[in-house]
Structures are given as structure tokens and as C-alpha cells.
Amino acid sequence: MGTPARVIVLPQDTSTLRIEELELPDPGPQQVVVKQFASGICHSQLHQMHAPRRSPVVLGHESTGVVLHVGSDVTHVVPGDTVMVTWVPRQATAESVPPVAARLEVMDGVARSQNVFTWADHTIADQQFVVKVDPNIKTDVTAIIGCAVMTGAGAVINTAKVQANESVAIFGVGGVGLSAVVGARMAGANPIIAVDLDDEKLAFAKGFGATHTVNAGNEDPVAAIHALTTRDDRFTFMGAPVSGADYAFDCIGIKQTMEQIVPACRSGRFGALDGGKAVLVGVPTTTVEINANDLLLNEKHFIGSIGGSCAPDRDFPRFLEWEENGDLGLNKMVTERFSMDQINEATDALASGKIAGRAILEF
């Protein structure tokens, strides 16, 4: 017998979301049915909402919940376990067979998901996307660990492997960027430079560990970062003092910021000093042009970070420990809460920049 569920559906021909009441199927051998407590609301869903599609779509990719039913081959969770649902396989290997994404019968066809869907009071997912966690965790704000925290903090500690006293610049301080700020603080980075267009968001970022802020609408952020990071003990091969961030993270993914993070990085010096690393974290929506001479002559790096290079089984306990110790600050990072019936209001608020940190849906 299936599981009754209320599911938010994105129709094929409009960006206005609707709620459907339907029945989830019994889990297949590798599947888990989860009753959800809360789900994050991510910019990635806005990209999906405004992209062309061939069928209806079910959305959302980070949540907390409790297991209701498991398939015959599922061994790492049982009914009653507290879990987090995420879009990154919990134990991926190079040889892993990609899990099958969910497909649901809805009123105007078959709705598909990208790996998982969490904008629903109940969901069904491949076991690789279901991570068992301590039953004593907060079951609301921790929902954003499954994407925002993982993506931002993971980019700092996993992809870039930032070390103590290295300099970091973070472009865009929404939920992902704030998580990157926390990751940089936990790594002992200094300075931690937050870059945004909104003074309120910049002030907010200081509460998570940013040591300096730059409003890119008022000044050239690349020049400002170089001014804040000039060293008098290191020199380029041309004899000029080294300046620029050791690591620059783009947590937005638009053309302008993607083209700013490489010049914001410091120069290297002919094998004696590696150049800075520009890390693309935000989902890109356009092509990008990079100054190849700057990349080559100054031995800089331009790299991507998807999902913070995270392995959820390994990394989620660490992020939950940060939260338990008061280092992550999820109660402060989650600035807006919505019910399912407010989903269109929620996505409109996110699209118009009214969400200071991260928003969640509560079921």
C-alpha cells in the first residue's frame, strides 16, 4: 500500500507551482520513503523553474525527516530513523552506478526529479541519497546542511583545503556564501573577505566570521581585495609585492563574478610560490571569459566545486557537530520559514533578493 503525500509540482508550461495530493508507491529494493520535517529552498530550484522542460518536475534537494518504509535491499536505515535527504550520493565511488531519479504520476503526466525531491511532506528516494543522523538533531534548520552548508563549507574545506592564516574572498553571501564564510572561519583563514551588493547581507556575514566586507556596487571588488591582501614579504617575478586572495570563491555563478575571481587571486612565482585558486561554487548560467595570460604567467588555478566535494556520510556528522557546538549558527542562517501553501510566495521572495540567509519549508 502506498503513502499519501502532498507534493509541490512544477508544470511543464508555467513557472507557477501547484500542490498535488497523490500516493507515493511502495519502495523498490533500493528505495526509502521519508516523512519530512523541513526542506531548504535553493537558487538551483529557480534555475529549474525558468529553464525549458519536457515534462512536469518535482523539486527540492535538501531535507530532514524520519524513515517510514524501506526497500528489501536497504540496510543502513530502518523505519523510525532520523535522516537527511540530499542530492549527492552518500557513498559515491568512481565505479558507482548512478541511482535512478524519482518519477511520479501527476495530473498532467509523469513528473521527474533531479536525483531527489524534497518539496513534499513525504518523499521517496534511492537509499544513496538518504543519510542516517543522530535522532537528537534539530529537525528544522538542519535541513539546509544537505545543500547550502555542504556546498559552501565543503568548497572551502574539501575542494580548496584552505589552511590557517590563508586569505579568502567570498563573492555572494546568501546561504551558500555564508556557509563558505563559516568554513573559512573554521579552517582558521585570515582575512575572510565577503563581497556582495547588499550592505545588510555584508553586515550579516560579519556575524558568521567575515573579517572584511566589500560592496561591489560601490567599489571595484578586485582592487579592494588586492588592497586588503598586499604582502611586503613576498614578490612577483616582476618584483612587485604579492597581493590578492589565496582563494576566491564565486558562490553566485553569473558572468561578472566568474570573471572577477581569477584576477582577485594572488600571483605565483615560477615554481617557488603557487598562484591563488579561484573556485566556482555557484551554478553558472552563462559562458565565461578568462584572461589566459593572467592564468598562465601567474600560475593561478580556476577550479569547480560541485556539492562542496562532499561525501555526506563523512561530512554531515562534522557539520552537525559544528551546529551542536554553536559554530555553524543555523538558527541565525535560516532567516525565513514558509509553509507548503506559501511556496510561490517563497520562490518570489528568493528571486527578488528578499532572503538574507536561507529559507526553509516546514511541513
Give the confidence band of 269 by pLDDT, cuts at 50, 70, 90: confident
Q: Who has greater pLDDT, 190 or 2?
A: 190
Domains plus CATH for the chain?
Answer: 3-139+329-362 (3.90.180.10), 149-306 (3.40.50.720)
**Residues above pLDDT 90, as percent of the chain:** 81
User: Mind listing the pLDDT tens digit for each residue in 250-262?
Assistant: 999 999 999 999 9
Reduced to 3 states (helix: H, G, I; strand: E, B; else coil), residue 305 is coil
Query: Please, what is the average pLDDT of the chain?
Result: 93
**Residue 33: phi, psi to the nearest 5?**
-100, 130
Instruction: Read off the C-alpha cell for 162.
Output: 584552505
3-state SS record for 68-129: EEECCCCCCCCCCCEEEEECCCCCCCCCCCCCCCCEEEECCEEEECECECCCECEEEEEHHH
Give the confidence band of 232 by pLDDT, cuts at 50, 70, 90: confident
- Residue 238 reports pLDDT greater than 80: no
**Residue 313: CB partners within 8 Å, gap ≥ 6?**
90, 91, 131
Distance CA(216)–CA(198), nearest Å, equals 9
> How many other CB atoms sit within 10 Å of the CB of residue 101?
16
Distance CA(149)–CA(264), nearest Å, equals 24
Distance CA(357)–CA(279), nearest Å, equals 21
Give the confidence band of 237 by pLDDT, cuts at 50, 70, 90: low
Assess contact for 58 and 120: CB atoms under 8 A.
Answer: yes
Assess contact for 264 and 174: CB atoms under 8 A.
Answer: no
User: Mind listing the pLDDT tens digit for each residue in 129-171?
Assistant: 999 999 999 999 999 999 999 999 999 999 999 999 999 999 9
Write the Ramachandran bin of 174: left for phi over 0, alpha for psi from -120 to 50, otherwise beta. Answer: beta
Write the Ramachandran bin of 188: left for phi over 0, alpha for psi from -120 to 50, otherwise beta. Answer: left
- Residue 91 reports pLDDT greater than 90: no
User: Mind listing the pLDDT tens digit for each residue in 191-228?
Assistant: 999 999 999 999 999 999 999 999 999 999 999 999 99
For residue 184, how far is the Cα from the chain centroid?
Answer: 15
- For strand 18-24 and strand 3-10, is the pairing parallel, antiparallel, or unpaired? antiparallel
Distance CA(285)–CA(299), nearest Å, equals 26
